[in-house]
Amino acid sequence: MRLNPGQQRAVEFVTGPCLVLAGAGSGKTRVITNKIAHLIRECGYQARHIAAVTFTNKASREMKERVAQTLGRKEARGLMISTFHTLGLEIIKREYKALGMKSTFSLFDDQDQLALLKELTKQWLEEDKTLLQQLISTISNWKNDLVDPQGAAGIAKSQRDQIFAHCYGLYDQHLKSCNVLDFDDLILLPTLLLQRNQEVRERWQQRIRYLLVDEYQDTNTSQYELVKLLVGARARFTVVGDDDQSIYSWRGARPQNLVLLKEDFPALEVVKLEQNYRSTQRILKSANILIANNPHVFEKRLFSELGQGSELKVLSANNEDHEAERVAGELIAHHFINKTQYKDYAILYRGNHQSRVFEKLLMQNRIPYRISGGTSFFSRPEIKDLLAYLRVLTNQEDDSAFLRIVNTPRREIGPATLQKLGEWANLRNKSLFNASFDMGLQQTLSGRGLEHLQRFTQWLNEIVQLTEREPVNAVRDLIRGIDYESWLFETSPSPKAAEMRMKNVNTLFQWMTEMLEGDELNEPMTLAQVVTRFTLRDMMERGESDEEQDQVQLMTLHASKGLEFPYVYLVGMEEGLLPHQSSIDENNIEEERRLAYVGITRAQKELTFTLCRERRQYGELVRPEPSRFLLELPQDDVVWEREKRVVSAEQRMKTGQTRVAGLRAMLENAKKG
């Protein structure tokens, strides 16, 4: 692939600071990968002296792959391509002594952080989830702005902020004394260290002789400071970004950093790119017209030579289930007619909670899919627990499932008991479950261990018997019998989390019931068949490696940044969802518009929006208005599917499912043929 003159200039300018400021799909990321190769090939840089920072782990893996393809693995060895946080972690690992830490520090995730803060602030804050969340984000913002607890106390104006600053101090002390770091520390600590310690700073400036940063518009204050410290006075760096795609202000991102760059580095070479190589003209025009509603600091133009393309589509649905049915139906038909691959499709949404119904429909229709970021339903621990129980119910030979459930919830069946049971079963070629009934077990196992074990397996065996006759009742009895709900409340970080988990369990139960009962179109399944369907899905997720598989991609708009897909479904285009209600309330529509812009510009060939007439929100049924962003699009390029006659829910279910099932049958016949 040839670079255009603007890209070429950005790649070849290596003597000073360089900014590529350009719209979506104009080849900014491409400039970074080509420039790395150029630095090594033409400018005598060693790979280990070059660092590139990307926004997500996925993006950094892709970039490594691309560079290795251009250069060969050997030449690319030693390159540092990572996210800001991984780079920070690398610095901390090497400089832990200078930081006054032990080498055995550990990392805190959000859940740990929440639990600790709750504990620490007991006497200061009432138990209030919103307040606690505010505290977490305030501390995070302080850290991102390089403000320490004393500093925070100094700038805190309101009484609330003073209390927050005090809690920040307690939290900070606690982390230090336990040798623990949170997410924001991964940037904060290296930045402070490089600021204060000249020797360390010079060491890293020697190590990283050229720095490249992708998605620069989303750097926050501490990240920008880290960039400045790493490049030093030599200022050999290239950053690329697009102010219209700044979507992380809630994490302290400062798009103004683009403006600051020119002030901090007067010699800055600014390159603008104008050709979009990703999308059809209609998609690009729609994106441009939408984003023109935001005020602009930088003027940018973008054109595409990829032809006009087809019109953008808007589909409306009665409710969320119907929305997912429609997307699945369209997707199957499209895949069949156009002989595409599943990985050519992406379903993008504003919030993680929206993914659930899509997962269900895709799973039921055997369409392979993958959820990036956010946890997929089937990889949640509570779902894995329940699935393991179901596996034992349908197959008593399944030792690994048995081992997962034997002590979940806790039944005081210790490792020694299980080991002896294992040896016994092995010798006799029996499964653990079946062996547990052997009379002879008393020879090796005695006392409480055996008693607990047999009480459990005998009870489970009764459920197994019931399963053959009445699977739904059997599973219901099982969930009650193990008192899984209490177990969740005992082991979850908060009652809220426990409730969520129990809700997931109920959802799985409901899916199972539907599949067991079947409907006009889907034959009733046996429990064993249902379990196989669930397990396959679970395995697909576990087998998921970095290599690309042929799966439909599901992700939030935030996670989709930098990526591209031939066919995109942007779902939930409703006031309250996109723009999100909290942003409407806080008058922060511009950031939501940028988010919509990011979504639209992911699409290469076709783009479909969907919206619901009714949606369940926080337990209430609402009738949302279409998103204002849909109305801002150039209407000549958008087809609104005509309002259909309002049909009864029952009829709709029938027609929706008939269509999906009909298409599926078609597909399967085609595969056989």
Ligand X SMILES: Nc1ncnc2c1ncn2[C@@H]1O[C@H](COP(=O)(O)OP(=O)(O)OP(=O)(O)O)[C@@H](O)[C@H]1O
Closer CB to Mg ion, 28 or 360, in the complex? 28
205 binds, among Mg ion, ligand X, none (CB under 5 to 8 A by kind): none
Q: Residue 220, interface with Mg ion (CB under 5 A)?
A: no
- Which of 27, 252, 599, 656 lies at the binding interface for ligand X (CB under 6 A)? 27
215 catalytic residue (yes or no): yes
Stretch that binds ligand X, among 1-9, 318-326, 503-511, 526-534 (CB under 6 A): 1-9
End-to-end CA separation in angstroms for the chain: 38
Closer CB to ligand X, 420 or 594, in the complex? 594
Shortest Å distance, C-beta 19 to ligand X: 13
- Which of 26, 29, 205, 365 lies at the binding interface for Mg ion (CB under 5 A)? 29
In the shown chain, the binding pattern of residues 507 to 546 toward Mg ion, with x for contact by CB under 5 A and - for none, equals ----------------------------------------
300 binds, among ligand X, Mg ion, none (CB under 5 to 8 A by kind): none
29 catalytic residue (yes or no): yes
Contacts with 611 (C-beta within 8 Å, 6 or more apart), sequence order: 314, 315, 316, 317, 323, 571, 572, 573, 574, 624, 626, 627, 630
Cα gap 174→108, rounded to integer Å: 12
Residue 448 labeled ligand binder: no
Shortest Å distance, C-beta 275 to ligand X: 7
Stretch that binds ligand X, among 2-10, 74-82, 336-344, 588-596 (CB under 6 A): 2-10
Q: How many residues does the chain have?
A: 673
Closest CA to 603 of 577, 631, 637, 628: 637
Q: Residue 1, interface with ligand X (CB under 6 A)?
A: yes
Contacts with 381 (C-beta within 8 Å, 6 or more apart), sequence order: 501
Shortest Å distance, C-beta 650 to ligand X: 43
Directed axis angle between helix 415-428 and helix 447-469, to 10°? Answer: 60
- Which of 13, 250, 277, 342 lies at the binding interface for ligand X (CB under 6 A)? 277
4 binds, among ligand X, Mg ion, none (CB under 5 to 8 A by kind): ligand X
Directed axis angle between helix 221-231 and helix 198-207, to 10°? Answer: 80
Residue 25 labeled ligand binder: yes
Closer CB to ligand X, 6 or 471, in the complex? 6
Residue 272 labeled ligand binder: no
Cα gap 59→55, rounded to integer Å: 7
3 binds, among ligand X, Mg ion, none (CB under 5 to 8 A by kind): ligand X
Cα gap 589→585, rounded to integer Å: 9
549 catalytic residue (yes or no): no
28 catalytic residue (yes or no): yes
Residue 292 labeled ligand binder: no
The pairing of beta strand 210-213 with beta strand 50-54: parallel
Residue 27 labeled ligand binder: yes
385 catalytic residue (yes or no): no
CA angle 176, 206, 89 (to 5 degrees): 30
Closer CB to ligand X, 66 or 228, in the complex? 66
Q: Which helix (H) or strand (E) holds 107?
A: strand 106-107
Q: Read out DSSP for 449-468? A: HHHHHHHHHHHHHHHHHHHH
Cα gap 22→238, rounded to integer Å: 13
Beta bridge partner(s), residue 617: 620
Residue 422 labeled ligand binder: no
- Which of 242, 243, 320, 591 lies at the binding interface for ligand X (CB under 6 A)? 242
Catalytic option among 215, 359, 574, 606:
215
Q: Residue 70, interface with ligand X (CB under 6 A)?
A: no
Q: Are 258 and 21 in contact (CB under 8 A)?
A: yes
Cα gap 477→462, rounded to integer Å: 10
397 catalytic residue (yes or no): no
Name the residues annotated as catalytic. 28-29, 214-215, 245, 602
Residues binding Mg ion (CB under 5 A): 28-29, 562
Annotated binding site for ATP: 22-29, 278
Q: What residues line the site for ligand X (CB under 6 A)?
A: 1-4, 7, 24-30, 242, 245, 277-278, 562, 564, 601
